[in-house]
Amino acid sequence: MNKLCLTVTCPSRRGIVAAISGFLAEQGCNIHDASQFDDIETGNFFMRMSFSSEAGKGLADLDAAFSELSKTFEMEHAFYDEAQKMRVVIMVSRFGHCLNDLLYRWRIGALPIEIVAVISNHMDYQKVVVNHDIPFHCIRVTPQNKAAAEAQIMAIVEETEAELVVLARYMQILSDEMCTKMSGRIINIHHSFLPSFKGANPYKQAFLRGVKLIGATSHYVTGDLDEGPIIEQDTVRVTHAQSADDYVSLGRDVEAAVLARAIHAHARRRSFLNGNKTVVFPASPGSYSSDRMG
């Protein structure tokens, strides 16, 4: 039996959980894991349920049967097969630590994704990508060809039927048009020194100021640079004994880990946009397991 998943967003009101649980029981489904959040400030309700259909109901059948309940509670809902991997396009420039980490996690099955293309504005990682049997596209970006370059990028996204774009240290600013069109479908990673240390060499700036915590933030991309809804963050401690180069190395590690966790949350349908914030539910049991060890 395949594990299925139901996600729901709607205005908060009494009886939602009971109605959904009752519906699944009536359809012959067994709930394995459930998370919910009622945002008192916004009046929004969020839920994710993982379940199996013991009656053999498919996604289309469940969705059709759920439509009346969805209308009653003004829901935005979707049913998913958890065995279906999310199609992802990765974009990278000249820092390859996040790309290489994602390729490894993808190869061992630690992320529920299918990498359908890698796009870069440089040729540095063509060989490593092609060696993984993944299509590599080099699209140079200049102030003069930016619109045409983004059109090429969007063509690849559409041709590959990608559901998510990951900026794995892609050092180009996306246009407002692309951010709007792909709202909730582009994830970025950057250091967590903002707004304190902007521009070039933020780790060197942090070193010179004696920073004791190095962090990373992964978020959904919006037209406001590096200010989209946050999905995942983490930190690592440093001391006076570390050098500026140590800061960079430790920063790379935390960036790679935070980006992978953010992608996992999105691909498992655990992350919900909630205005300028997100609701991110805990992972279901077994969802971090890998197919292979190496």
Orientation of helix 59-72 relative to helix 16-26, angle to 10° = 150
CB 220 within 8 A of CB 184: yes
Residue pointed to by tokens 């060989």: 127
CB 6 within 8 A of CB 48: yes
d(CA 27, CA 55): 7
Nearest residue to 17 via CA among 59, 47, 57: 47
Residue 208 is encoded by which pair of tokens? 């010179």
Q: In the 8-state DSSP scheme, what is residue 180?
A: H
Residue 116 is encoded by which pair of tokens? 């359908």
Indicate which residue of 38, 39, 63, 226 is catalytic: 226
Q: Is 291 a catalytic residue?
A: no
* 177 half-sphere exposure, CB direction, 13 A CA radius: 7
Q: In the 8-state DSSP scheme, what is residue 84?
A: S
Catalytic residues: 226
